[in-house]
Structure 1
């Protein structure tokens, strides 16, 4: 009887535990599920973090301007020869405070033509002045000793140009455009890189021309003699400077510049400035 009672008690306890577990099981399962990470949420987050970055728009870069080499006596022939081949223009316009002057550059002096075009295209002559004016002789400009000009010249380079004189073909008649040069320590008569002058001119007699022929070791043609004894020019510069161009329009402007009042060093008392442009 006692054993039966104990067995009955144990059976009731077992059923009670089973009932408790039956009712608690859903809560246990829910708790267990809550502890595990949500696979769906994890996948979505992974997609966000691995999303490809937007492609950058391609922007075409502007071509860099070719850097012009600094000129020197070592490379001047090569650089100017190449520049002349790539720039066949030979008409330039000087706009001055006295009026416009149109100049034709000679193809027969290729280095001087290329040099003048190169300096013009680099705006070298803009806002320069005629710093030497001598009536019945020349008007000269293209450079100065101002500080800002030194800065520009350092960028272009310091050099001189081999002479290209053809005294019977290109000579110093009125309107001739020629390069200045140093007379000391310059046996090859190389031209200045920057300074140029335009002939205003005066007349000569035959005796003067004979003496010039002897001193400059040249021989004038009949056409030259006729021009120098009637129209005039600067005959004594033939065989000494390279003529590389000719005024084709605006000679009256040269007359006007030549007539201005100057100081004791032939510098105009009122500046005559210029800008130079290549027109064709």
Structure 2
């Protein structure tokens, strides 16, 4: 009788142990399947991770002129946005960036995502001609420029994008700039109804105003000093649009 009892007890323990091992195996398999089935990061996730990393990068984001083109080319592939809102106290100006000026588009999106433009100004207003932005008289702007990098963007001017009214174009440094390369930080919007076609080829048009030309016209009337700097500062912010 004792022998039968021991055999029965052994069978119960063996069965219980077998069930526990099976459940553990199922759990491990399930966790593994969940890991394997986890979807890859979306392009938006990858772009956000890239920009977060750039914000904490030591030194300049673009370290030299030599790395500029490959950097902006790769950045443009990961950051495909083409619509930006320029915010002023006069109202908003909505911008569309052109895909066929890829270096200028990628650079502009980089500056927006790195918050470069925020608290800079529309620092030049030439009545009947243009409004120009991307600079300021504060200490933070030179620091921001140093963090982004010291470089020029190769000219991407094309006959497909003349300097008509409402276009977004890149400013440039005139001294020893025989290649007509663009400043990475300053832009202008053509206000003149006749356009500004004498600038074709010399400056790169890389976008256009899609909404808010009435705001451009209003800003173009403000009072300025002898250097065409508005007497009352016009601060700007930039944000991406969906």
Whether these two folds match at TM > 0.5 is yes
Helix, strand or coil: the match of 1:191? coil
Kindly indicate whether residue 165 of structure 2 is the aligned counterpart of residue 174 of structure 1.
Answer: yes
How far is the alpha carbon of 1:235 from its aligned partner?
1.0
How far is the alpha carbon of 1:187 from its aligned partner?
1.1
CA RMSD of aligned residues (A): 1.5
Helix, strand or coil: the match of 2:66? coil
Helix, strand or coil: the match of 1:192? coil
- Report the counterpart of residue 135 of structure 1 in structure 2: 127
- Report the counterpart of residue 201 of structure 2 in structure 1: 239
Distance in 2, matches of 1:99 and 1:81, equals: 33
Gap runs ≥5 in structure 2:
1-48
Gap runs ≥5 in structure 1:
1-62, 202-230
How far is the alpha carbon of 1:266 from its aligned partner?
0.5
How far is the alpha carbon of 1:146 from its aligned partner?
2.8
- Report the counterpart of residue 35 of structure 1 in structure 2: none
Q: Output aligned runs, 1:126-275, within 5 Å.
A: 126-166=118-158, 168-201=159-192, 231-275=193-237
Distance in 1, matches of 2:89 and 2:115, equals: 17
Helix, strand or coil: the match of 1:194? coil
- Report the counterpart of residue 53 of structure 2 in structure 1: 66
Distance in 2, matches of 1:147 and 1:118, equals: 21
Kindly indicate whether residue 69 of structure 2 is the aligned counterpart of residue 77 of structure 1.
Answer: yes
How far is the alpha carbon of 1:232 from its aligned partner?
0.9
How many pairs are equivalent? 188
1:232-271 CA distance string (max 9 Å, x none):
1111111110000000000000000000011111011111
TM-score scaled to structure 1, two decimals?
0.65
- Report the counterpart of residue 114 of structure 1 in structure 2: 106
**Distance of aligned partners of 1:145 and 1:268 in 2 relative to their CA distance in 1, 3 Å threshold:** closer
Distance in 2, matches of 1:198 and 1:110, equals: 19
Distance in 1, matches of 2:234 and 2:138, equals: 15
How far is the alpha carbon of 1:144 from its aligned partner?
2.9
Helix, strand or coil: the match of 2:104? helix
TM-score scaled to structure 2, two decimals?
0.75
Distance in 2, matches of 1:260 and 1:189, equals: 30
Larger Cα-atom Rg? 1
Helix, strand or coil: the match of 2:225? coil
Distance in 1, matches of 2:116 and 2:175, equals: 26
Out of 93, 98, 107, the position equivalent to 1:101 is: 93
How far is the alpha carbon of 1:183 from its aligned partner?
1.8
